[in-house]
Homo-oligomer: A and B are copies of this chain.
Amino acid sequence: MKSQLSSSTEDYVKTIYAFTEWQDAPITSSQLAARLGVANSSVSEMVRKLKDLGLVDHRPYGAVRLTEEGRRVALTMVRRHRLLETFLVNELGYSWDEVHVEAELLEHAVSDLFVERLAAKLGNPARDPHGDPIPTAEGTVPRIDAHRLRELDPGHAGRITRISDENPELLRYLAHERISLDTEVTVVRRKPFGGPLVVRIDEGGASRDFDVADEVADAVWVRSGQPHQGCTLEPGA
């Protein structure tokens, strides 16, 4: 059942999964190639191998979809990645813009035993430092009920529950602008024709307006209602 996959294989599966985590529509060959930073021809070849391994469904010229087994592998990788990020931030004092690359390397080197011991030590967190849900060991993904900042209409208020970890520079920028998980925002003005989105930010009484760049509006997720509950929810919760 677990024939030990190469770290390339793990990366492909994780990337395929990640593509559909926050949207529908399966990933195409060239999108996969772009995200992995390899040539299209490499993807064609590798996808055939993944299919032989039973990890993806794919027919020539079609999109690539994970099988149940592939999804299981992907969730294992995502769990590893996010637990490692949490560890790096909570225990080793990394800042949230530093953890992604480090976790990317480590996730291929840790054993299941390591992951479960680490999860226990961290208190079985349900979210990582960027607010991304950490799949359970059994393959359940905690539901995250939030929307991209970009999609919100004026007047909509809520708390930031997720910030994509893909771009460290963006994370540093947001930290510099004092925007983080749990920051309360209210949409003031929706993008007209190419104009900026503006949000109002509560800061213990005072408030300021903030121009949201397109990239930021895509990377930041907001939830109205309950506050973000940090990194230490109970496992089954």
Residues of chain A at the chain B interface (Cβ within 8 Å): 88, 91-94, 98, 102, 105-106, 108-111, 113-114, 117-118, 121
Q: B94, A105: Cβ atoms under 8 Å?
A: no
- Whole-angstrom distance between the Cβ of A120 and the nearest chain B Cβ: 8
Which residues on B sit within 8 Å (CB–CB) of A108? 109
**Contacting residue for A109 out of B94, B98, B106, B118, CB 8 A:** B106
Q: B111, A102: Cβ atoms under 8 Å?
A: yes
8 residue pairs, one from A and one from B, having the closest CB atoms: A109-B109, A92-B117, A105-B109, A106-B109, A102-B111, A102-B114, A92-B121, A93-B117
Q: Whole-angstrom distance between the alpha carbons of A92 and B120 in the complex?
A: 9
Extra pairs beyond A91-B91, A102-B113 (9, CB < 8 Å): A91-B121, A92-B121, A93-B117, A102-B110, A105-B109, A105-B111, A106-B106, A106-B110, A109-B109
Q: A94, B117: Cβ atoms under 8 Å?
A: yes
**Residue in A106, A109, A121 whose Cβ sees the most chain B Cβ within 10 Å:** A109
Which residues on B sit within 8 Å (CB–CB) of A114? 88, 92, 102, 106
**A105 and chain B: residue at smallest CB distance:** B109
- Whole-angstrom distance between the Cβ of A14 and the nearest chain B Cβ: 16
- Whole-angstrom distance between the Cβ of A123 and the nearest chain B Cβ: 14
Q: Whole-angstrom distance between the alpha carbons of A92 and B118 in the complex?
A: 7
Which residues on B sit within 8 Å (CB–CB) of A117? 92-94
Q: Whole-angstrom distance between the alpha carbons of A16 and B110 in the complex?
A: 25
- Whole-angstrom distance between the Cβ of A214 and the nearest chain B Cβ: 32
Which residues on B sit within 8 Å (CB–CB) of A110? 102, 105-106
Which residues on B sit within 8 Å (CB–CB) of A98? 113
Which residues on B sit within 8 Å (CB–CB) of A109? 105-106, 108-109
**A98 and chain B: residue at smallest CB distance:** B113
Q: Whole-angstrom distance between the alpha carbons of A162 and B94 in the complex?
A: 33
Q: Whole-angstrom distance between the alpha carbons of A88 and B115 in the complex?
A: 11
Q: Whole-angstrom distance between the alpha carbons of A113 and B95 in the complex?
A: 12
